[in-house]
Structure formats: C-alpha cells, structure tokens
C-alpha cells in the first residue's frame, strides 16, 4: 500500500465534493460534518464522474403526508442518471428494473426488508493524518 496525501483538511469546506487524482486513480472525495469519504470517481452504472454529482439524503415516512429528510448529505447522486450511492459503503439504492412507471398493489414493509440496488460504487478508506486528508492505495 502506498499512502497518498489528497489535500489539507482546511482546504475542504463542509459538504464539498471534488475530484482528486491519487496513484493514477481518479477519486471522488467528499467532506460531510467533518468526516471524509472517497469513492472511485466512476459510476458503476453508466461511467459518469461521481464528483459531478450532488449530495442528498434519504426520505423516511411513517405514513401518507408525513416525510422527513434523514441522513442529510450522506448520499451522492450520479449526475447522469440520478443513481444514489451511500458515501460510506458505496451501496446503491436504485434498481434499474424498477425505475419505469408501473402500478403496484400498496403494502407496508419494514425498512430492512427493502431491496438494495444492484450497483455498488467502489469506496476507498480515507483518514485524517494531522492536517492532511490521506488514502492508502495498492
């Protein structure tokens, strides 16, 4: 593993997403509430640069008309097709087979019973070493 310095911690603003090259790999690096995340800067669905996307959250509801924003800015939305990826795990929560408009019989399920999307963005562990944001790459 080779350690790469990405930037100074102070060079990032909160909720900033940027593209940074390290070890010949393009990374999408984000800072949210003082925590850093890195993904390989390529959407596994269509190849878009994830660094061109925007941060978003998830929406939860306990019934019709009752919605709340959760996990504010912990999801990254791909700029091309809107697939959303969890910054910490890279997991998508979009299923391309379910994106067209269809009618379904309504039902209620626990949140843990929902189906994950088929795409997972490749994550890279990020550390803060002193005043620097760093990653270890093979």
Taken in order of first residue, the domains within the chain and their CATH numbers are: 2-98+109-137 (2.102.10.10)
The pLDDT value given to residue 113: 59
What are the average pLDDT values for consecutive 10-residue runs of the chain, which has 138 residues?
A: 91 94 92 93 91 91 85 91 90 66 54 72 92 91
The pLDDT value given to residue 96: 59
The pLDDT value given to residue 133: 93
pTM given for the model: 0.74
The per-residue b/e assignment along 102-134, b for 16 or more CB within 10 angstroms, e otherwise, is: eeeeeeeeeeeeeeebebebebbebeeeeebbb
The pLDDT value given to residue 135: 92
């Amino acid at each position: 593993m080779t350690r790469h310095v990405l930037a100074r911690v102070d060079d990032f603003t909160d909720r900033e997403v940027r593209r940074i090259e390290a070890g010949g790999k393009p990374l999408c690096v984000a800072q949210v509430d003082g925590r850093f995340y890195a993904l390989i800067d390529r959407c596994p669905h269509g190849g878009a640069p994830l660094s061109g996307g925007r941060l978003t959250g998830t929406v939860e509801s306990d019934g019709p008309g009752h919605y709340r924003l959760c996990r504010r800015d912990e999801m990254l939305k791909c700029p091309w097709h809107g697939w959303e990826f969890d910054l910490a795990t890279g997991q998508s929560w979009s299923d391309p087979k379910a994106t067209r408009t269809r009618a379904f019989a309504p039902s209620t399920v626990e949140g843990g019973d929902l189906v994950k999307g088929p795409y997972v963005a490749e994550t890279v562990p990020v550390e803060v070493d002193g005043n620097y944001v760093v990653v270890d790459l093979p």
